[in-house]
Structure formats: structure tokens, C-alpha cells
Amino acid sequence: MGDRAAGAVTSAAAAGRLARGAGRLRAPAAGLVTALVVALVGDARAMVQLARPQDVAALGAPAIAFEAVGRVGGAMTGVAVDGGRGVVSEGDHLVVLDLSEPLAPVPIGRGAALGGQARVAALRDGLAFVLETIRRPDDAEGAVRDVVLHVVDTADPTALRVRGSLALGVPAVADIAILGARAWLAAGPDGLIVVDVSDPENPVRRASVDVGGSAVSVAVVGTRLVVARASPRDVESDGVVVLDAASGAPASPPLSLGWLPREVEAVPGERFALVGGDEGVLVLDATTDPPSVVARSDGLSVIALAASAERAFVVGLREPALDVRIEALSLGPTPSLALLGGRAFTTAYGFPIGLAASGEGALATVPNRGLSVYWFDPADSGAVLQEAQRLAALGTPTALVHSAGRLWAVDVDAELWPIDARVPEAAVLESPLALVLSPGAPSWCDCLMGDAALDPGMGEARLLAAFHANATGRGGVLSVDLSAVGGARQEAVWTADSDPAIAGDPDHPLASSPVTAGERLHATAGMAWLSGDPLLTLVGFPASGTPGLAGYHLPGESNGSGGLSVAAAADGSAAWVGTDVAGIWRMNPPSPGAPEWRDGVRVPTEGAVRDLVWHGGVLYAADDLAGLRVHDAADGRALAVHGGVVAERLALAADGRTLWVAGVGQDAASGMKTHALAAFDVSAPAAPALMGQTVLNWRQEYTDFHPAPDVAAWDDLLAVADGDLGVSLLRIRRSMGGAALYVPVAER
């Protein structure tokens, strides 16, 4: 992969084809000998493991194909600054910022969609250098994972374009530094890779430099390159290597630190800042032989570092509280690293993974929350960093619905995003509604949003959404009117702490219960049905008035694992609850005058039941080991099992004829994840027939929070909550014939 013929990828589309190549999806059930079905995804083909060949009744041309047509939102993973411009990577694309006012960045362009998870690593002279981790085809030589370097022209922010791309032939790149016509990439155990970018249309890999260990980070300091090095065998050799930038040869003996460096950053005066482990921040002189320490700041375990002429901004854990903070340290010609100010992060949405200095402030990206601008006011004697501005991002959608002529996405960070998807190829994110998660509380708090559903009893114009408050460990439900004039309007919120029947009675069974929402929420008959702990909680949301507890079922010895999913009959007369290890439970209404629902029949399952759909007297269950299960909704009798799909999330089309099955798969060879999607014809509810399936994209995830992909379908369009990549939009193409995978239980 070292020359142009082997390594060059001439367009982002070609890189996308590599990323979406024929990959192996982790089998949903162990020990299966697999068969393959192929479904179209744009111009690429993707293969998904199916069930045993003897289970396949018919495998013909797929009856349905998926055409990727658009994407909106995505986690903000990286940020780079050059003068008065900034670039943020958001999902698979870039956002260009005007930094004329450094503390008030203004988005002035979006584009350059790459197809996979992008991370901007550097910005120089209008060119953004973007890294994308892809999964290479099975027949390709070398590592299964590969990193592609994209050179993106941002000179016209309204028309971003990929000038050139290069597959590097290495599984990971941690950092990049640009000097003149060369890009130096820290590629871990593959050392320092040198790429010639003099012709942005054709970047060329020129050489690799052995740094005597893993290249962790790299920075240009004057005429030298400073590389943070980790030794795989000798911790005493962890430290810094200084190279001549012209030749790549050693410029001074290595500096051994005895601890693992994390990041290196150039600071004024031919010096560099170094962070790692619990050593705080060091400033070293690169002109001495070896580099010598000029200043030190202790007590901080640093995660990220960025520097300007006067200040170093760091994100890390500060002793003794060990809370995650962003801090400003004094730099200047004579660096003291004195603490100027700091601010604690609320970490419900993850840690900042992108940090860049901009004038007197710093831009920090938190993937699930967006971009925040922090600055230190010298006139403020309180030593507190101010949050000047935040650019919200649809970073991790947890639920999707289509109603009132709009697609709506619930984001994990308590925001509801309307999406104009009438032209899916040019879908537009509109201004989000900040959700208030407890009565009298501010709109933003340490909480996580969960599942959401439309309430058919209210004309499908009312959304019910579940959330979890990290501070209290308890959950709740809120309602939003999607048809309100002027945009969506939040109506009410329910928590156990605010319900008079619970809060006013210390002996109430739910007074000490977490009342946490599980993975799913069901809405019908004016009720929100929550699985979790308790196993089942019912909250009534009247057309007007205050919501209140309407029923519950406490876990017992036989079903104490808590509920993961729930589905209820349309009239609210019964419900099924899926659990982690105790199978599926039918819940029957309580006796007259009693609040607690009663156990009914229990159906064992192979794995955790992560979603349920009740349709036409049939219960569909997403079993994360067995696949899609089909049961009689009256007595739980098993009707069929479809073992060839990754099943975590189910969605029934409005016409009741198509069932969408989605899940998260992981490739054992590369460790990369994908969202898998399948479509079943349920015209005959008891005998679903597989019409087609696909994988959406292999990607390197940047967050620890990975909700199962939700699905919303309308007309011939499909929206999928695609993790860090935001919301993917697909057009459905139907054809005659089909791929059927119907396995009656009696034949298994």
C-alpha cells in the first residue's frame, strides 16, 4: 500500500465502496452454518449472515432493496482551527465555521459526505485533512481495518469537495501534523507515516519512519517534529522522539519519561506541551538536547490538550474530586502553567474528544452534545471558565417517529429535532426543542433520553418519550404535542417523585423503586407503557390535565431481571413484557380496585428480548440471540423463528404489511460495528416472509452510548437512527419475487 497504484483512492465514493464492502456480520446465534443473501445499497453490495441453509425455504432475488439517499446529523468528533476558519466533523460530513468572532462561531457551510464516520484532524490553508476508518473487503491483503486520509477543499464553504483520498494501509491513526507539502501521521505501531500532499488531488504515501515504538501523537515545533512514543515492552522507554522535519532523521536523543504520553502540542518559542497519565501538563524546550522541562502543572490527568499563544486548554480529571473539567492554564513567553480558570463537565453525554484553541477561547466537541465554546475572562476573579456558546448536534438519536408531515428525532441529550425530509436527498435539520425533564427544572440536566412513541389514541400527533435522570437514578415520561402551531410544544412531564400518589405515601411500593425506563416505551389508549424496574409501569396521559400513575407490576423471584421491552393490546386489556433472562411475560389487568397487574403465561427465550410488537393477534419479539420470534399473542405459543437477522428494534409500517427489524452487529475481524436492517412481509401476520436485508455502514464508533437503531417508515422512505452517523434516509425499491426465510417451529 506504499505507492500510488496500491494506495490511492481517487474519490470519496471509492473509499465508501471500500467501507461498505463485503463484510462478515457477527452471527446472531452461535454455531450456525451461514448462508448469504445480497441486497443493494446504492452502488455497493453488502452481505449479512443468515440462518442454516436447511432452514431457508426459498432464496431468490430480494423483493426489496435499499437505496441510501441522504443523512442528517451525527456526532461531532473532531475540530480544527486555522486563523478565522474552523472545521468540525459531524457524522460523515464536515461543518465549516466562521471564527471572525472566536467566541461566537457561525456555521457557513456543510458537506463533503464521506459515507462513513469522519474525524477532521487538521486544517491548513483551506484544506481539511480528514480521517475515516473503513472495513476493507475480505479478499484484500493486510489488516481488515484501514484508515483513509481525505483532503477536503473548504475554500468555498457552500460547495465543499473532496480533492483526493488515500488508503493508508494501517488500522489506526491517532494524530496528524502538516508542514508545507507533507502530512505526518502518528499511526501507532506502524510508526510515523509521511504523505506528500503537494497535489491535493493525488496524495501519495512516501515513507514510514520507525520511532522505536508506537507513534501516539505528533506536532511540528519550529523545524522539528516531536513525536510522543509508547513502547510495547518497556515502559521506561515511553517518552518523546525529536526528528528533523526535512529528513525525518533523529535531531536529538530520545527523551525517556517512564510514563505513557497521550498528546503533544506546539506552543510558542520552539517549545511543546506534553500530557499523559497522571503527570499533568509539561512544557518542554525542543531546542535542548534532549528536550528539557520548562514548566509543569500537577494534579490533573489530561484527556485532551490545545494551545494558543497565551493559554493552554486541557480536559481531564482534577484531584481530589476527580471530576471531569476543562481548564485554562497560563502559557505566554514565560509559561507558568498557573491555573486561570476551570469548569466541570456534566458527563451524561460523554467526554470531549475534540479540542482546539480559537483566540482567547477553546472549541470542544462532545460527540453526543455538539460543540461548545469556552473562554476565560481575566476580569472574573472566580476562576471559572465561561461557556460562551453551544452549537447543538443530533449526535445520538434514540428514537424516530414520522408525524405531522415531519420526521422527528429524539436525541440522547434531551432535544427533539424536527427534520424536513420531504426531499430526502436534501433533508434539513430544523431548530430543536429543548425538553424539560422535571417540573421546575432547567431544560438541560444530567439526563439521558430513551425510547419514544406516538400515541394512536391521540391521533398520532402526541409523542410520549422516556428519560433517565443520572443524578437520582430514576426515570420518567414526558409528552409533546407535535401539531402545535409554531412548532412542537411540550405538554407535561411525569416522574415518580412528582406523582402525588407516590410522593405523598412513603409506604407506596414505588416510593423506593428506581422507576427506571427500560429500552422500550409503548403508547396506546392514552397510556405510556414502560418496561424496566418495576417490570411494568403504566402512566396515564389524559388529553388535558396532569399525568398520573395508572398501574404497575413489581418484579418477583421468577422475573426479577427487570423489563427490556413492552407491547400492549390496542385497547390496553393486556401487555407482554420482554426481559433479559426470564423470557417473555404476559401481563394481565389487575383485579378491580387493585393497582398491580398480574403475571400470566411465561415464554422462555434464547436471549434478551429487546423489542416487542403486537399485530393482528401475533406477537413479534426481537431476541438478540435467536433473531425474530413469532408468537401467538393470546397464549404465547411459538409460531416461527427467523434466525438470520440481527434483531434489537422492531417497527411496523403504517399499512401493517411490513415489519422492519434492525440491530447492531459487530465484525469479529475488525472490531467495527454496523447497523443491520431487514424487511419482512407480514401481510399474513403469523407467517412473516423476509423480503431483503442489508448492512448500512461499517464504522468506528466514537461514543460509549450505543442505542439500538430505531426505524421510522412512510411512503417509500425509511429513516434509521444510525448511531454516531445521525439519521440515515433510505428509499425502498420493491420488486417481484423475493427472499423468504420462514421457518415453522415444528421444522426446526
Q: What is the spatial distance between Cα 12 and Cα 15, in angstroms, rounded to a whole number?
A: 5
Report helix, strand and coil shares of the chain as percent, to nearest 5. 5, 50, 45
What confidence score (pLDDT) does residue 321 get? 67
**Residue 551 contacts residue 534 (beta carbons within 8 Å):** no
> What's this model's pTM, rounded to 2 decimal places?
0.84
397-747: CATH topology: Methylamine Dehydrogenase; Chain H (2.130.10)
Question: What would the grid cell of residue 383 be?
Answer: 476562576
Beta bridge partners of 9: 165
What confidence score (pLDDT) does residue 379 get? 74
How would you label 349-380 residue by residue, b for 16+ Cβ within 10 Å and e otherwise?
bbbbbbbbbbbbbbbbbbbbbbbbbbbbeeee
Is it the case that residue 381 has pLDDT exceeding 50? yes
- Residue 57 CA to its chain's centroid (Å): 36
CA nearest neighbour of 194 among 215, 222, 223, 171: 215
Is it the case that residue 742 has pLDDT exceeding 70? no
pLDDT in tens, 462-514: 999 998 876 677 788 999 999 887 788 998 889 888 888 888 888 888 887 77
CA nearest neighbour of 179 among 114, 223, 121, 216: 223
**Residue 169 contacts residue 146 (beta carbons within 8 Å):** yes
Residue 146, SS3 per DSSP: strand
What confidence score (pLDDT) does residue 382 get? 63
Element (H, E) at 4: helix 4-7
What confidence score (pLDDT) does residue 298 get? 82
pLDDT in tens, 342-373: 888 765 556 778 999 988 889 999 887 889 89
Q: What is the DSSP string of 366-421?
A: ETTTEEEEEE--TT-TT-B-EEEEEEE---SEEEEEEETTEEEEEETTTEEEEEE-
Where are the chain's structural domains? 1-22+75-210, 213-276, 299-393, 397-747
Is it the case that residue 707 has pLDDT exceeding 50? yes
CA nearest neighbour of 689 among 748, 745, 623, 737: 737
Residue type for position 250: P
pLDDT in tens, 93-113: 999 999 999 889 999 999 988
What confidence score (pLDDT) does residue 518 get? 62
Q: What is the spatial distance between Cα 167 and Cα 150, in angstroms, rounded to a whole number?
A: 9
Q: What is the spatial distance between Cα 128 and Cα 108, in angstroms, rounded to a whole number?
A: 15
pLDDT in tens, 543-574: 888 899 999 988 765 555 578 899 999 888 89
CA nearest neighbour of 269 among 309, 225, 300, 299: 309
Q: Indicate the average pLDDT of the chain.
A: 81
Between 18-32, 331-345, 651-665, the lowest mean confidence (pLDDT) is in 18-32
- Residue with more model confidence, 377 or 451: 451
What confidence score (pLDDT) does residue 748 get? 29
Q: What is the spatial distance between Cα 677 and Cα 425, in angstroms, rounded to a whole number?
A: 20
Is it the case that residue 37 has pLDDT exceeding 70? no
Is it the case that residue 54 has pLDDT exceeding 50? no
Biggest CA pair distance of the chain: 85
Is it the case that residue 377 has pLDDT exceeding 50? yes
pLDDT in tens, 640-691: 999 878 899 999 988 889 999 998 877 777 777 788 899 999 999 999 999 8
Residue type for position 654: A
Is it the case that residue 622 has pLDDT exceeding 80? yes
pLDDT in tens, 225-255: 999 999 877 766 789 999 999 888 999 888 9
**Residue 101: CB partners within 8 Å, gap ≥ 6?**
none
Is it the case that residue 202 has pLDDT exceeding 70? yes
pLDDT in tens, 426-463: 899 999 998 877 655 544 456 788 899 998 777 778 99
Is it the case that residue 122 has pLDDT exceeding 70? yes
Q: Which residue has the cell 398520532?
A: 460
